[in-house]
Amino acid sequence: MTQPSACAFVPERAESSVYTRGEAIVKRPEEPKPRSDEWTLCLLRVRDTQDQAAFVQLFNHFAPRIKSYLMKGGGSDTLAEEATQEALATVWQKASLFSPVQASASTWIFTIARNKNIDAIRKQKRPEPEELDWIGDKEDDASVALETSQEESGLRLAVSKLPQAQRTLIERAFYGEMSHSEIAAETQIPLGTIKSRIRLALERIRHDLAREK
Amino acid sequence: MTPSNINHHLTDAVLLAYSAGTLPEAFSLVVACHVSLCPQCRSALDGLEAMGGAVLEQTETTALSGGALAATLAKIAKDPTGSPAKSYRKSSFPSPLQDYVGGGPQSVKWRKVGGGVKQAILATDKTASARLLFIPAGTAVPDHSHNGMEMTLVLEGAFSDEVDRFARGDVEFGDEDLTHTPIAEVGTDCICLAATDAPLKFKGIIPRLLQPIIGI
């Protein structure tokens, strides 16, 4: 389903600022890069202005995917439908906690859908790590969102270049079709290489944040 | 960010199972506590969750009922902010553990298991069990091996065994191949959070007889 992308306001080619917190902003000519993703911008609008039209766009894009995901997790059509609605309601309710430094919209919404899968479909509990105190500077969020979505699209590119068998393993893991011991026994999942790409990027962003503190 | 002193981290397989949401609750608790203390594993988890986001993006769609959007908006209108975030006290126990204990180390209801060692079993589902262990400084936990998988996270103090030294934030993995005698370091009592999907096997006859009684 393609929605008109009212949220995509980042131009394809423009002079971008290299983001270095606490120091002078360095300008450099833009290389062709992916756009900041429209779903993250929609989510920022929901967070900052309770924009219902932006929420409807998120709903139309994510709800049908979350419903499939929850049915793969073992939910009946009725249960998955109800849990999908609850997950999307949580997107609105928790939007104030969304930080584009940590994740793109699809990653953040994935974690909400996953937690819904655990508590509503599998009836289990999930301990969550301690929240980090992000120093909120909402004016910077659009540029930070661009950086995060560029990192994530690099990650997606890396995943899409994997051999089919490895991609299938990653999907099966996320669809809940592999136990921990099955994952552990499966040496084909090339997590190290994929992780290191995004790990470095995230650590750099965090380092910048810590310096400003 | 202070540089982390943690030397023993979570495995890729455990982090992937946690990010996919398929790890038993007791192990998830150990993962959540380690990630709370370890920026490196937190970054790795963020990367894996981004993969989860990518998988969700390319998941096929299933149509929702006609009234789904209206029903969702009604849920939001009824409860626009959801339940408020809980607040926690600063403690050597990360917040996910405080949820199970009801606070920090002072809130633990310890039970003696002999030799000064104490434990407290935490309420998780039965797919695996989690417990806190208190090992007095300089004391050894009896020689034992493991049936299934065991993950032990150090929260206070440190212990050493045949493998290495483990201090706050470090995780030791045990399985069928590991028989070890952890000894708490002299100076500070050691508190660990351990999760296992099978009971421990002790080597000596007396601990083995006691095992069903003390429950470790």
CB atoms within 10 A of CB B88: 17
The arithmetic mean of pLDDT across residues B98-116, rounded, is 93
Q: Which residue of B has its CA nearest to A159?
A: B51
> Given this model, what pLDDT does residue A32 score?
42
The arithmetic mean of pLDDT across residues B137-148, rounded, is 79
Q: What are phi and psi of B202, to 5 degrees?
A: -90, 150
Q: Domains in chain B: how many in total?
A: 1
pLDDT digits (tens, 9 = 90+) for A7-45: 544 433 333 333 333 333 444 444 444 455 889 999 999
The arithmetic mean of pLDDT across residues B128-157, rounded, is 88
Pick from B51, B80, B82: CB nearest A194: B51
> Given this model, what pLDDT does residue B164 score?
94
> Given this model, what pLDDT does residue A25 score?
41
CA distances from B209 to A163, B82, B142, B201, B214 (A): 52, 50, 13, 10, 10
CA distances from B10 to A96, A114, A175, B17, B92 (A): 30, 20, 21, 11, 19
Q: Domain segments of chain A: what residues?
A: 37-125+137-212
Which residues are CB-contacts of A21 (< 8 A; sequence separation ≥ 6)? Answer: A208, A209, A211, A212
Asked if residue B202 has pLDDT above 70, the reply is no
Chain B neighbors of A191, CB-CB under 8 A: 12, 15-16, 48
Residue B211: pLDDT band by 50, 70, 90 thresholds?
A: low
> Given this model, what pLDDT does residue A116 score?
96
Token pair in block for residue B94? 């990360």
Token pair in block for residue A31? 């290389």
Q: Which residue of B has its CA nearest to A173?
A: B20
Distance CA B42, CA A99 (A): 15
> What is the rounded average pLDDT for all residues in chain A?
77
> Given this model, what pLDDT does residue A17 score?
37
pLDDT digits (tens, 9 = 90+) for B13-53: 899 999 999 999 999 999 999 999 998 888 888 888 988 99
Token pair in block for residue B49? 């969750």
- Whole domain around residue B146: which residue ranges? 95-214
> Given this model, what pLDDT does residue A203 score?
59
Token pair in block for residue B68? 């789904």
Closest CA to B139 of B107, B105, B112: B112
Cα A207 to chain centroid distance, Å, stands at 20
> Given this model, what pLDDT does residue A23 score?
37
Pick from B25, B54, B100: CB nearest A155: B54
Asked if residue B131 has pLDDT above 70, the reply is yes
Amino acid at B97: L
CATH of A37-125+137-212, one of 1.10.3720.10, 3.50.50.60, 3.40.190.10, 1.10.1740.10: 1.10.1740.10
Chain B neighbors of A174, CB-CB under 8 A: 19-20, 51-52, 55-56
Pick from A60, A110, A180: CB nearest B49: A110
Amino acid at B7: N
Q: How far is the alpha carbon of A173 from chain B, nearest alpha carbon, in Å? A: 6
The ranges of chain A with pLDDT < 70 are 1-36, 133-140, 190, 192-213
> Given this model, what pLDDT does residue A197 score?
54
Say yes or no for a CB contact (<8 Å) between B56 and A159.
no
Locate tokens 């009824």: which residue? B78
> What is the rounded average pLDDT for all residues in chain B?
87
Could you write out the three-class secondary structure of chain A?
Answer: CCCCCCCCCCCCCCCEEECCCCCCCEEECCCCCCCCCHHHHHHHHHHHHCCHHHHHHHHHHHHHHHHHHHHHCCCCHHHHHHHHHHHHHHHHHCHHHCCCCCCCHHHHHHHHHHHHHHHHHCCCCCCCCCCCCCCCCHHHHHHHHHHHHHHHHHHHHHHHCCCHHHHHHHHHHHCCCCCHHHHHHCCCCCHHHHHHHHHHHHHHHHHHHHHHC
The arithmetic mean of pLDDT across residues B157-185, rounded, is 91
Q: Any idea what the CATH number is for the domain that residue B121 is in?
A: 2.60.120.10
Weakest-pLDDT range from A130-134, B38-42, B77-81, B159-163: A130-134
Residue B144: pLDDT band by 50, 70, 90 thresholds?
A: low
> Given this model, what pLDDT does residue B170 score?
97
Closest CA to B143 of B156, B130, B161: B161
Token pair in block for residue B103? 């606070």
> Given this model, what pLDDT does residue B205 score?
55
Q: What are phi and psi of B171, to 5 degrees?
A: -120, 130
> Given this model, what pLDDT does residue A14 score?
36
Asked whether residue B148 is domain-assigned, the answer is: yes
Residue B114: pLDDT band by 50, 70, 90 thresholds?
A: confident
